[in-house]
Amino acid sequence: MLSAMRSRQKLCHLRSASPVENLPRVPPIYGLPTEIVAHILGCLDSRSLLSTILAHPLFHATFQTFQQHVLKEILLRLVPPQLLPLAFATYEAESIDYSDWNSIRRLLDRVHVRQDQAVSSPSPALGLPPLPLTHRMVAAIERIHRMIEYFTHDLTQRAIPRFNYIFETTRPATISPSEELRILRAFYRFQLYCNIFGRKAIESAGQANLTAPRTKDEVWASVTLSSKSPEDMLRELETFFWPWPRWANEQLACVFEYLEAVISVFFDDVAAHDVEWGWRKVDWVEPNIATPHRRFLLFNGLGLPYRLRHSDEFEIWKSLLDSADVGGTGTGKECIVTMASSLTESVAGRNSLIRLGLYNINYPRGLEGQASWKGIDDAETLPAQLWKVANGPYGSVLDRTNLLVRDAGYVFWDGYVGEAAEVMERVENCSWTFNGRLFPHEIPKLRQVMRRSWEKRSKIWLEGGRGYWVDDPVRIPSPKDSVGLTITDG
């Protein structure tokens, strides 16, 4: 018995002496070729990359050796090659001297030159800038692109059902690569505009002290200081808007009004219920007063609506809006410096071209612009043809009669929706149905409700009250509420 036990113990001992234990104790990862490690790093996002290279000496050493390759791979996986010039211009614009028109013009000219190369070349890397890439640069571009992807998905989900209803079609919920490019490009152009002209407008508003005027004369002086000179407006149009096709600017208008609708959900809620905003008499009903202020908030770029969308607390909404509100939302002043005015002038300034184009058999070829993307902006595409039908009679891309078709993102989609006369009839049928916020017959009643709430909240404020006011049960209709509204012909 004892002999058998000793035998088993000996066998166990022999089994434990496996050949593996005789190998050197070196982690297997050190055996990987550095090219494979660099490829692995290039498959990460910027946040994961930073934590990975700090987690192991091999990753850190490989990144130091192949830094440009790794960062280039991350960008090329994230951003479509055609959009890389816009993505880098948006990043550069965050720190550009917006008072130097030569710098602005050079930046925007580089976008158009690199854009032509990126669109026409099979090599994705041609869209990359000649300057060395840094982790900070890639992280900043990635942050903007993630926001743009989020809003692209949300806009698509909202717009396609409306497009199907208006044009009596059944286009799929998924979007094609060309449709996605148009939407992504419009959001990038919006952010680029905010990084240049938006920062300038915000700084001008702060310098003009718009938030605390004392007399009526000071109010008008502040507005004058914050408005654009004719020379600045012309430069802005020449460098930013006119190089693009008119329907590409209409795509920008679609994005602009979509983002205004996103902000309005939170703006209207705070304006209708916050005690301090009631004391300040912040208007959320009268379009001629309230709309310019909400639009001024958009100068802060995509970050503000994105943070609002990802916050669930009323106090956070108010804090975000207050911090962005250098234009003085609650003072009853007109803030006339908005992207809307520039978008309007981008067409109105060339109204003669539109009118001549109506009688030109090649119309809208004459309005394609030097920044047109082949296959995306051609005059034969559905966006160009629908733009012609919807905007031919008007001098503004933001004409209110076309609000519903912009809500449907009508200049983003491919396909066929009918003959011109039939399409015109459908556009006209929905032109006066709904102005995007309130039905006209609701405004007088809601204005009375708003003024009564101002009186009540002002009294609460003067007595030391703060926070959310729940006395008013009326829920003010907003773009969020109107998503499910039935669109009727009228």
Residue extents of the structural domains in the chain: 25-78, 140-490
pLDDT of the residue at 481: 37
- Which is more confident, 411 or 437? 411
Taking the CA atoms of residue 422, residue 425, residue 426 and residue 432 in that order, the dihedral angle to the nearest 10 degrees is: 170
Q: Flag whether pLDDT at 129 surpasses 60.
A: yes
- Residue 89 CA, chain-centre distance (Å), reads 15
Higher pLDDT, 296 or 72: 72
Rounded Cα–Cα distance for residues 287 and 265 (Å): 15
Q: 479 pLDDT exceeds 80?
A: no
pLDDT of residue 355: 37
Q: Mean of the pLDDT values across residues 222-227? A: 46
Encoded tokens for 417:
């929706």
Instruction: Tell me what the pLDDT averaged over the chain comes to.
Output: 75
Tokens for 17, please give them.
């002496």
SS3 42: helix
182-192 per-position pLDDT tens digit: 999 999 999 99
Q: Which residues pair with 274 in a beta bridge?
A: 468
At 281-297, the pLDDT tens digits run: 888 886 655 556 677 78
The amino acid that residue 270 corresponds to is V
Q: What percent of the chain has pLDDT over 90?
A: 27
Token pair 């007109």: residue: 334
User: What would the pLDDT profile of 162-171 be if each residue is shown by its tens digit?
Assistant: 899 888 888 8
pLDDT band at 21 (very low <50, low <70, confident <90, very high): low
pLDDT over 70 percentage in the chain: 66
Residue 478 above 70 pLDDT? no
Question: What would the pLDDT profile of 415-457 be if each residue is shown by its tens digit?
Answer: 877 777 777 777 777 655 544 455 667 778 888 999 999 999 9
DSSP assignment, residue 415? S
Give yes or no for residue 367 having a pLDDT over 70: no
Give the whole-angstrom CA distance, residue 461 versus residue 466. Answer: 6
pLDDT the model gives residue 366:
52
pLDDT for res 357:
36
